[in-house]
Amino acid sequence: MPINELYTKKVDVDNLIPGDIIANDIYLTNGALVIRNGTILSDRHIEALQRMGKRIVTIDIRNVYINAVEDSKIIMKKAEDGKNITPEEVKTAISPILREVKRERNVSRLLLELQSQDEYTFQHTINIGVISLSLAKWMGCTDNDELVRIAMAGTLHDIGKSRIPRPILRKPGKLTPGEFEIMKKHVFFGKKILEKDGTYGSDLECAILQHHERIDGTGYPYGLKGDQIHSYAKIVAVADVYHALTSKRVYKDKVNPFRVLEHLKKNIDSLDTEIVLTFIDNMLNCLLGCTVELSNGEVGKVIFTDRDKISKPLIKLEDRNEVLQLGERKDIAISDILVV
Ligand SMILES: [Fe+2]
Ligand SMILES: [Fe+2]
């Protein structure tokens, strides 16, 4: 069965880690098969590849996502049953995906990979962990322990939803004001779940309790403002709003990150300005060079992006040797991203 391209990754042999799975057969120059596709790499394999002088190999990362979703289901179920969840358990569950975040510099590609998982709740959980970690790195955090804690805060941010009645949690339409009041309690339930274990620390508890607080005081549960909100909560909030926008699917079946980043910028007053702009700049950087489909059916490559005209980058058209300034064409928009 051919592996979907989104689930493979080209990796320099020096960045291989034991446990990586090879996605293509690897041959010597004389045609002899050295490593078969599907092989789980050991230290010995990696050394052999280095000795061969092979620089780039393709690995299969399907299981990273499948396992991450499975593990987050188990954690959510334990929370639902009132069982204790330890920080070690959460760390173990997210460590393979954190490894990919460290290896994959192009976070927008990672996020697209994650979007192909169909179950929203679990996809959301992992996405927020990945985005929060990337954001913390982009904000200049280099302390590995702290990065892991921020990723854990992102992953656990909605754990309290495990205590919200299912009919409210899964209601397809808009919640009534009464239902919304119940939904808001997930931040308290989340904090309680962490407190039950008692070893998460106040920074993670704050992040979970405050991830719906907004800089301008319009958030909940306490209507905190500015610096009253913990920095982890501010990071998780940006990740949460971004992912909520991508999942609304109001634009098209497939999500167009340019439009979503533009919407995020419109929400900037309620979020931390520096974090939002750092996120937008880095995401745009990741999207530079991606192949897009335009609303007139043409295909091209993004060759220049601009924070002030997020959804109107410069496009080099594939068929004609021409650069299209989307900013000057109100009649054409990006309709889809084909390759990141
Ligand atoms: Fe939430
Ligand atoms: Fe959320």
Residue 34 sits in a domain whose CATH number is: 3.90.105.10
- Ligand showing the shortest atom-to-Cα distance for residue 239: 2
Strand, helix or coil at 73? helix
- Ligand showing the shortest atom-to-Cα distance for residue 161: 1
Instruction: Kindly state whether residues 46 and 71 are assigned to the same domain.
Output: no
One-letter amino acid for residue 235 of the chain? I
Instruction: Kindly state whether residues 89 and 238 are assigned to the same domain.
Output: yes
Does 253 fall in a domain? no
Instruction: Kindly state whether residues 96 and 241 are assigned to the same domain.
Output: yes
Q: pTM score, two decimals?
A: 0.85
Does 28 fall in a domain? yes
d(CA 265, CA 43): 46
d(CA 71, CA 304): 39
Which stretches in the chain have pLDDT values below 50? 1-3, 249-252
Give 169 Cα–ligand 1 centroid separation in angstroms.
Answer: 11
- pLDDT for 72: 85
Instruction: Kindly state whether residues 180 and 121 are assigned to the same domain.
Output: yes
Does 190 fall in a domain? yes
Instruction: Kindly state whether residues 18 and 104 are assigned to the same domain.
Output: no
Does 276 fall in a domain? no
Instruction: Kindly state whether residues 54 and 67 are assigned to the same domain.
Output: no
Does 68 fall in a domain? yes
- Ligand showing the shortest atom-to-Cα distance for residue 219: 1
Does 258 fall in a domain? no
Instruction: Kindly state whether residues 184 and 307 are assigned to the same domain.
Output: no
Q: What does the DSSP 8-state code read for residue 100?
A: H
Structural domain boundaries, residue 40:
5-60
Instruction: Kindly state whether residues 244 and 99 are assigned to the same domain.
Output: yes
Give 127 Cα–ligand 2 centroid separation in angstroms.
Answer: 10
**Percent helix, strand and coil across the chain, each to the nearest 5:** 55, 10, 35
In the sheet where 8-12 sits, what is the strand order? 8-12, 56-60, 21-22
- Ligand showing the shortest atom-to-Cα distance for residue 121: 2
Does 81 fall in a domain? yes
Does 177 fall in a domain? yes
Q: Identify the domain boundary among 222, 248, 274.
A: 248
pLDDT in tens, 80-120: 999 999 999 999 888 888 888 877 667 777 676 666 555 67
**Domain count of the chain?**
3
- pLDDT for 254: 53
Instruction: Kindly state whether residues 79 and 112 are assigned to the same domain.
Output: yes
d(CA 271, CA 286): 22
One-letter amino acid for residue 81 of the chain? D
Q: Identify the domain boundary among 248, 269, 304.
A: 248
Kindly report the backbone phi and psi dihedral angles of residue 156, in degrees, each rounded to the nearest multiple of 5, phi listed first: -95, 0
Give 157 Cα–ligand 1 centroid separation in angstroms.
Answer: 6
What CATH number did the domain enclosing 79 receive? Answer: 1.10.3210.10
Instruction: Kindly state whether residues 99 and 140 are assigned to the same domain.
Output: yes
Give 292 Cα–ligand 1 centroid separation in angstroms.
Answer: 32
Give 290 Cα–ligand 1 centroid separation in angstroms.
Answer: 31
One-letter amino acid for residue 183 of the chain? M
Half-sphere exposure of 137 (CA within 13 A, CB side): 19
Give 191 Cα–ligand 1 centroid separation in angstroms.
Answer: 12
d(CA 184, CA 186): 5
Residue located via tokens 């992040």: 207
d(CA 181, CA 168): 11
Q: Identify the domain boundary among 248, 275, 307.
A: 248
Count of CB atoms within 10 A of residue 24's CB? 15
Give 284 Cα–ligand 1 centroid separation in angstroms.
Answer: 26
Instruction: Kindly state whether residues 173 and 93 are assigned to the same domain.
Output: yes
Give 307 Cα–ligand 2 centroid separation in angstroms.
Answer: 25
Ion ligand 1: residues, CB within 5 A, are: 158
